[in-house]
Amino acid sequence: MADRVKDLASIQGVRSNQLIGYGLVVGLDGSGDMTTQTPFTVQSVISMLGQLGINLPPGTNLQLRNVAAVMVTATLPAFTKPGQQIDVTVSSMGNAKSLRGGTLLMTPLKGIDNQVYAFAQGNVLVGGVGAAAGGSSVQVNHLSVGRVTGGALVEREILTTVGQGDYINLELNSTDFTTVHRIVDAINQLYPSTATPIDGRMVQVRAPIDNSQRIAFIAKIESLDINPAKPTAKVIVNSRTGSVAMNQTVTLEPSAIAHGNLSIIINTEPVISQPGPLAQRGETVVTQRSQVEIRTEEGNLMLLPNGANLGEVVKALTAIGATTQDLLSILQALKAAGSLRADLEII
């Protein structure tokens, strides 16, 4: 099915910005920082009290268990105006056991230019602990990170310009020359001679100067349906969990590999199909049929006929007890041997 241009590309210059701040969460039920091990929490409390007109005697040893020092992060979307609210994430930076039930005190949020763009404050919502379906297991959520929905009030706007002069630039989410070519063709069919490809990731489009007309023009461009090119074959392996993901059917070339007590042989044999002896029409067709054979030292044999599909190979290896490290080693060896014709990414 076709995708829209807005699903494949974005307008250059229309982007979000990251904000960060340091603050305090109070009102915890004894689950805050151990102040003997986190002196910055005590310093923050003393500084805050001083700004509120409360001066503590020098050498006062505060033993606080209801306060936690936190880092506050947020994303400021494009075109956000002063007075609008955004969500913030609150993360403990000390040794607090839980932020549940706490309240984030007013925290300035700064951008990369060290300017304050928003202030955050509010009750911190942390995931709880509950029984899974059937009560057979217990799910424990992360208690040192929480969110404050709509907890930050924007105080300053970041100016965003849509294009420069007569042109706007479309930036693809991933580099692909074929997709760029198809986007250019679709735009030029709607608005002749307006789109020009710059490289494998950018398309330059001549747009109206008037702001209202430019917005309507961009809206039509973003709604165009595009059939994106087939992406590069990729295999992703999570070395921690053993998960294997593929973005499309990945086949293997003929090869053989031995790993520990496993032996994998991938054969390809020709299959000839020809017309009957009395046929007047038709021609001989030669196709390739692959067969995967997996053996163990114990003599166990697993045969995978009709196509050496990597997904079937991984499934078969898992079924006979191959570990995550076995899969990683085998896939890396197949890639190095040229049998695995896909990008192998280990995360």
CA neighbor of 224 nearest in space, from 275, 269, 182, 276: 182
The DSSP H or E segment spanning 296 is strand 285-296
Domain ranges of the chain: 17-154, 161-226, 234-274+285-346
Provide the pLDDT for residue 286: 47
Each residue's pLDDT expressed in tens, for the chain with a length of 347 residues: 678 888 888 888 888 999 999 999 999 988 888 877 888 888 888 888 888 888 888 777 777 888 999 999 999 998 899 999 999 999 999 888 889 889 999 999 999 999 999 999 999 998 755 544 455 455 556 788 999 999 999 999 888 777 777 888 999 988 889 999 999 999 999 999 899 999 889 999 998 888 888 889 999 999 888 888 887 778 888 877 777 787 766 767 666 666 666 666 655 555 555 555 655 555 655 445 555 555 555 544 444 444 456 676 776 666 666 777 777 777 777 777 777 777 888 88
Kindly report, residue by residue over 1-60, the tens digit of the pLDDT: 678 888 888 888 888 999 999 999 999 988 888 877 888 888 888 888 888 888 888 777
Provide the pLDDT for residue 107: 94
How is residue 151 written in tokens? 């907890």
Partner residues linked to 218 by β-bridges: none
Using a cut of 0.75, tell me whether the model's pTM lies above it: no
The DSSP H or E segment spanning 92 is strand 85-92
Within 10 angstroms of residue 48's Cβ, the number of other Cβ atoms is 16
- Residue 43 and residue 306: Cα distance in Å, rounded? 69
- Residue 79 and residue 212: Cα distance in Å, rounded? 15
Provide the pLDDT for residue 3: 84
